[in-house]
Amino acid sequence: MRSTIALVAALVCGLAGQPAPGSAQAVLEVTGAVATPRIFTRAGLAELPRWTGEVSVATHSGFELRRYTGSALLDVLQAAGGVVVDEEVKNARIALYIVAVATDGYAAVVSWGELDPALGAAPAYIAWPEEGSGADARPSLVLPLDNLAGRHVHGLARLEVRNARP
């Protein structure tokens, strides 16, 4: 049964021009309340507008600057068709949140209100460190304004856009 489901998923994704979830080409899956759930390859993410910057990261010996290159989280979500919101509901966008999940199960949450340019306008990126990032490496969720890096998700596998309203 499991192999049948995997085969159907591979066929559907192949017909849509996307890699199958879990395939060697798949780097990041975007699901949930987006118009077009999508599976990105590293090349697909590289087609988005680029960002390069230094982020202060807490280490065992203090803080150090690390240089990252990638794309804004908002651009990644827009490439998945943008978030789906019921515009009939007052302030519907502020009930949205994004769960970033790593391959090892580590997860962190970012609220839409933090990211929305009309509200918090906090920067968030899907990026690779410039040092030590091999061709098969997964990206990280990077939040430059966080004082500690607890919400930086390394080995990022999936972004799930969710709605806190029932």
Q: What is the pLDDT of residue 133?
A: 65
Query: Residue 27 in contact with residue 41, Cβ under 8 Å?
Result: yes
Q: What is the pLDDT of residue 18?
A: 56
Distance of CA 55 to the CA centre of its chain: 17
pLDDT tens, residue by residue, 54-80: 998 877 888 889 999 999 999 999 999
Q: What is the pLDDT of residue 13?
A: 42
d(CA 46, CA 49): 8
Q: What is the DSSP secondary structure assignment for residue 34, as one 8-state letter?
A: B
d(CA 73, CA 156): 12
Domain ranges of the chain: 25-163
Average pLDDT over residues 142-163: 93
The tokens for 96 are 């949205």
pLDDT tens, residue by residue, 17-62: 555 555 447 899 999 999 999 999 999 999 999 999 999 887 788 8
pTM of the model: 0.83
25-163, superfamily in CATH?
Answer: Oxidoreductase, molybdopterin-binding domain (3.90.420.10)
The tokens for 100 are 């970033």
pLDDT tens, residue by residue, 97-150: 999 999 999 999 999 999 999 999 999 999 998 876 666 689 999 999 998 888
Strands (E), 60-106: 62-72, 96-102
